[in-house]
Amino acid sequence: MKLSQSQCYAVALTAGLPNPRLMAAIAMAESSGDTDVVNSIGCVGLWQINQPVHVKTHPRWTVKWLQNPLNNAAAAKEILKSQGLGAWEVYTGPDGTGSDGPYRDYIDKPIDTNASVADWNPFDGDVLPDSSDIPGLDGLSAVGEALEKTADVLVNPQTWLRVAYGVVGVILVTGGLFLILKNSPAVRSAESNIKAIAGVASKAKTKATTKAKAKPAAKPAPEG
């Protein structure tokens, strides 16, 4: 699907990207508005998300998922939050610094700021529409974002690796404490005292039993 700069603006605005006019210019410079484009190193969609790199920490970011314009915008929002505008060479230019990249060819072009994604329905695929575009869906975007983040955490192998490390750590700490306590002087002293008391009690019981056996039986009283 090929989007105009106004439609890129509508996508950026719907996804909550800051400065949607600037982000629309970056999208046009990156992909010419082609939502399905994949370049030679695997960068996908409007904002050319580097799928082979980011899928390691965002397993849900498949090529197909990123070809949905709203998903691509959501990914761009995450990258912008962590890396800033420097993540896009079309903004910085080839030297990777400043703001003199080819996005400037688009930044001053007139766009329709009233454009809405609802006009051309990009909602095919696993993405929740923005609540401002469809009546009755207030709050679903936030729920969808929370579910997406939860899914990313659950399917990330590093999450389960951390859980395994935590379980092993608890076992090691518990075992270590047990060994320390078992070998401590206080515990050994207590064990010795218990054994000594048990020994004394056992001897007393044996002595009492021996006395009971040695005591002669009482003679019966004579009759009459």
Give phi and psi for 39, each to the nearest 5: -85, -175
Question: How far apart are alpha carbons 76 and 74 in whole angstroms?
Answer: 5
Task: Give the pLDDT of residue 133.
Answer: 36
Question: How far apart are alpha carbons 69 and 219 in whole angstroms?
Answer: 111
Task: Give the pLDDT of residue 68.
Answer: 94
Tokens of 132: 């401002």
Q: Under a CB-based contact definition with an 8 Å cutoff, are residues 98 and 150 in contact?
A: no
pLDDT digits (tens, 9 = 90+) for 201-211: 677 667 766 66
Lowest mean pLDDT among 44-53, 68-77, 156-165: 156-165
Lowest mean pLDDT among 8-22, 35-49, 75-89, 178-192: 178-192
Q: pTM for the complete prediction?
A: 0.56
Residue at token pair 């090691």:
172
Rounded to the nearest integer, the mean pLDDT of the chain is: 79
Question: How far apart are alpha carbons 123 and 134 in whole angstroms?
Answer: 11
Q: How confident is the model at residue 45 (pLDDT cuts 50, 70, 90)?
A: very high
Residue 66's nearest CA partner among 116, 20, 122, 118 is: 122
Residue 46's nearest CA partner among 12, 79, 19, 21 is: 12
User: What are the residues whose beta carbons fall under 8 Å from the beta carbon of 57, sequence distance 6 or more?
Assistant: 152, 156
Q: Under a CB-based contact definition with an 8 Å cutoff, are residues 42 and 28 in contact?
A: no
Q: Under a CB-based contact definition with an 8 Å cutoff, are residues 88 and 66 in contact?
A: no
pLDDT digits (tens, 9 = 90+) for 165-196: 778 778 887 877 766 666 667 656 766 767 76
Lowest mean pLDDT among 7-16, 50-59, 212-221: 212-221
CATH code of the domain made up of 5-155: 1.10.530
Based on its alpha-carbon atoms, the radius of gyration of the chain, rounded to whole angstroms, reads: 37
**DSSP 8-state symbol, 123:** -
pLDDT digits (tens, 9 = 90+) for 62-120: 999 999 999 999 999 999 999 999 999 999 999 888 899 999 999 999 999 888 887 76
Q: Is 24 exposed, middle or buried (0-12, 13-18, 19+ CB in 10 A)?
A: buried
Task: Give the pLDDT of residue 132.
Answer: 37
**DSSP 8-state symbol, 34:** B
Task: Give the pLDDT of residue 23.
Answer: 97
Question: How far apart are alpha carbons 127 and 98 in whole angstroms?
Answer: 34
Tokens of 173: 């700490």
Share of the chain above pLDDT 70, in %: 65
User: What are the residues whose beta carbons fall under 8 Å from the beta carbon of 50, sequence distance 6 or more?
Assistant: 41, 42, 43
pLDDT at 40 over 60: yes
